[in-house]
A and B are shown apart, each in its own frame.
Chain A
Amino acid sequence: MRWPIPALLLSLLALTAPLQAKEELVTLPKRDTVQLTIYNSVDLTLVRETRELTFKKGNNRLQFSWANTLIDPTSVEFNALTNPDKIEVLDTSYPAESNQMLIWTISSEEAVSAKVEISYFTSGISWGAEYHGMLSGDERSMKLTAYVSVSNRSGEEYENATVRLVVGSINLVEEIAALGGGGRQERMKEAYGKMREADAAENRKKDIVKEGLSEYYIYTVEGQETIPNQWSKRLESFVQEGVPLRTVYTWDARKYGAQLVKLLVFKNDEAHKLGREPLPAGIVRLYRDAGQGRLGFVGQVATNYIPKNDEVKVNAGADPEVQLKSKRLSFKKENLTFGWSGNRQYLAGWDTVEGFELELKNFRKRDVDFEVNVVLGGDFDFDSETASSKIDFQTQRFSLNLKAGENRKVAYTVRTRNGSNVRNK
């Protein structure tokens, strides 16, 4: 048996020794199974481990310590999985000399062997998602590969653990890292060799099973994983070929500044061959097929959690071959109204009437879609012969398609009422 360093030490103390005794005989039962449930919305992992313990009749003392790890002491629980009716925790003491140890006094009705589960929260283990999209030559579809990466900075190495990843946001009133209190000890471990051993045991890609649970999704990684302290590991979550993709050249000064940006849009739904589960937050990187399997980089975006049926937009930046220019072609003041202050006449209200022209140019050799968001302010009337839709109280949107090589001009006028001309609504 190899001594774990830094260790979750579970030792069965030779029974009758009172706490103040100087001599102790301890046995170190090994960890049989371990399951990690890792949350990504908060720094929290639920660890459940099982061990086979032998109890003598009467009182047994069981010491559990976790030096140099990030375990929350308030969360440690003991649970007998077999013979639960015979085994009972009488008390839990936290010795004054160590804040990273507890001792359970456990009474057993008879001498029995039992499988026990010890569970606790730790911080320092995290997971995240990453996505790689390979666009087809015409940028109308892609092969999407999703990955999950698990990083372990908890101070403890969990060997051959079952790994479950929780997608969703849970509520915590205190941070586990603060409750752990042990500080982050940056220690390196016998990591490399063991990792290889664990890898060598598997010779095919692991499945990641996704199941819904209340407001959350749980991803379970097939088989067992060993992630040494300080290491990260990335596994493929799913691959989907032929995900349809739309390119929309978008003008939205509030989101992307005063420039036309190329957005690649897909939805997490069945029509896009996705939608089996929500997509956890992560970086989406898009590459295009540059011929003969070679890649070109298209763009990347850090997305939030994408629920089923929601949309993902990847900003590929400005495309100099697709252009939009906006000009104010005319400006007039109308409906001047005057008031009197004593015997002085003054301007009280007026309208401004502005004519704008959007000039769209598509120098590309294929059709492109545009979405131009015009933001207006005050008491205005918007008018255009080109169809547009109202997005919110101050935004009108033109959705347009331009053929390869086409130039088009879109005109609109805005009448804005000022001063006493502003209407009551």
Chain B
Amino acid sequence: MNKRMIFTLAGTAALASVIGISRPTTVEARIKLATLPDKEAVVVRFDHPNQVLVEEERTISLQKGVNTVDFSWAGTNIDKGSIVFRPVDVNSKVEILSTSYPPGEAALTWSISSPDARSEKFRLSYLMANIQRETDYRAIVSNDEKTLTFRHYFKIRNWSGGTFDSADFITRDGKTFEKGLDQGEAKRVLVNKWDKVNLNKEYVYDLTRQYEGKVMTDYVLKNTKEMGLGAIPLEYGKVRIYQDDGKGTTAFTGEDWGQFTAVGDDMRLNIGIAQDIKVEFKKMVNDVENRRGNVYDTNEVDEYEIKNFKDSEVELTLVLRVQGEWEMQKDSEGYTSFERVDNETIKFKVKAPAKGAPVKLKFHYKRLNNW
């Protein structure tokens, strides 16, 4: 039985005869004769992005006529207005007549009418604050960095003031696990595991991200069935990445925050800096032209010299930004493809040969109508 949340069943007649007082004198000192129906089938649901819904069932013995059932939750964080109470059997003849709220108490009483003396199972639902949730992942990357094993964990911490002796916890994607959870206690559970997930490794030089001037190593997971995932949207959470070292153990190679990734989308994880790939930037031309009053254009050539000191060729993605109105010039060269992502952003792919042989990306553009 939960210590904090007291669900009491009080009968008027019984109260009067047992206690021998027909009227308690103050509300603070409400005298109650309480039967304590056990919590059954407790479910804690995390499907709302920032609310936790708790459901429990209680079997209550009712007398014929009107019964008063008292529910109190001193010391727990139940949202009073969210409480929904109804018989489990939708065709039940039992009716909730009214709900009353005593002053200064975390409590309420239901007035319930029953056509006969019976045991009725009720379901009680409410929002409960301060049950924290967290998603995290563990990725074990194969030695050749082509595939990984992806483990999805769900962690809950209970600061709600309530205690769950045994409850079904249901994650956003419908995974259920049964656990007990005390006040202040945290539990982390493996909810999904996917093997042989395909992995793309990308080297990225990106002026919109941190580590300016350095090349980052990203793993890109496509959340699709073809790539070994795609069963559920992946929640935001920390991804710790380990790599099979080929000797039967693994080495930690980095971690990143995985953004929420809907089915069909990419999760991009930065595992660190690629120290063997260097990019050197030089501005080769920076001329003003086509001056009209206080308005002018500029002609600019940016050069990126890329050296790959690895033993094999790599493809490097360069994400560059130019503000305002501008046009790329046709004599830009040194790339295998480019994409104007938006007005300010352009993405080049450059093949960098092995062993430090330099390759140059020439990015020639004009900024128009400056003042």
Contacts and interface: CB of A to CB of B under 8 A. Distances in A.
A320 B260 CA distance: 7
A300 B340 CA distance: 42
A197 B12 contact: yes
Contact of B262 (A132, A200, A203, A363): A363
Contacts of B30: 192
Contacts of A178: none
Interface in A323-365: 323, 327-333, 336, 338, 344-347, 350, 354-355, 361, 363
Interface stretch (B138-146, B200-208, B278-286, B291-299): B291-299
B23 A297 contact: no
A228 to B, nearest CB: 8
A200 B65 contact: yes
Interface in B319-357: 324-325, 340-344
A336 B369 contact: yes
B26 interface: yes
A235 B99 CA distance: 7
A297 B51 contact: yes
B2 interface: no
B27 A350 contact: no
A86 interface: no
Contacts of B84: 132, 287, 295
Contacts of A323: 262
Contacts of A189: 26-27
Nearest to B95: A205
Given A199-B98, A205-B95, A285 B82 contact: yes
Contacts of A361: 262, 264-265
B66 interface: yes
Nearest to B55: A294
A196 B293 contact: no
Given A200-B66, A294-B55, A328-B342, A283 B81 contact: yes
A86 B173 CA distance: 78
B102 A320 contact: no
- Interface majority SS (helix, strand, loop, mixed), chain A: strand
- Size category, B interface: 35 or more
Contacts of B55: 294-295
Contact of A327 (B43, B48, B90, B342): B342
B20 interface: no
Given A294-B43, A295-B125, A206 B12 contact: no
A298 B48 contact: yes
Interface string B23-56: 1111110100000000000010101111101010
Nearest to B26: A188
A287 B68 CA distance: 26
B369 A346 contact: no
Contacts of B324: 331
Contacts of A236: 96, 98
A297 B262 contact: no
B74 interface: no
A56 interface: no
Given A190-B25, A233-B100, A336-B369, A202 B66 contact: yes
Given A193-B24, A297-B48, A346-B294, A203 B103 contact: no
A408 interface: no
Nearest to B236: A320
Given A196-B68, A329-B343, A190 B98 contact: no
B169 to A, nearest CB: 13
B53 A297 contact: yes
A205 B93 CA distance: 12
Contacts of A290: 45, 47
Contact of A345 (B49, B260, B293): B293
B103 to A, nearest CB: 3
A192 B342 contact: no
Contacts of A18: none
B111 interface: yes
B368 interface: yes
B101 interface: yes
A297 B82 contact: yes
Interface in B103-132: 103-104, 109, 111, 113, 123, 125, 127
Contacts of A203: 65-66, 97, 113
A347 B293 CA distance: 7
Interface string A179-205: 000000000111111111101101111
Interface string B51-83: 101010000000001101000000000000110
Given A189-B27, A233-B98, 19 more contacts: A188-B27, A190-B26, A191-B102, A193-B24, A195-B109, A196-B68, A200-B12, A202-B97, A202-B111, A231-B100, A283-B81, A290-B47, A296-B53, A297-B47, A317-B49, A329-B340, A345-B292, A347-B293, A347-B294
Interface of B: 12, 22-28, 30, 43, 45, 47-51, 53, 55, 65-66, 68, 81-82, 84, 88, 90, 95-104, 109, 111, 113, 123, 125, 127, 233, 260, 262-265, 292-295, 324-325, 340-344, 368-369, 371
9 contacts: A151-B101, A192-B102, A202-B111, A204-B113, A230-B27, A231-B103, A232-B101, A297-B47, A329-B342
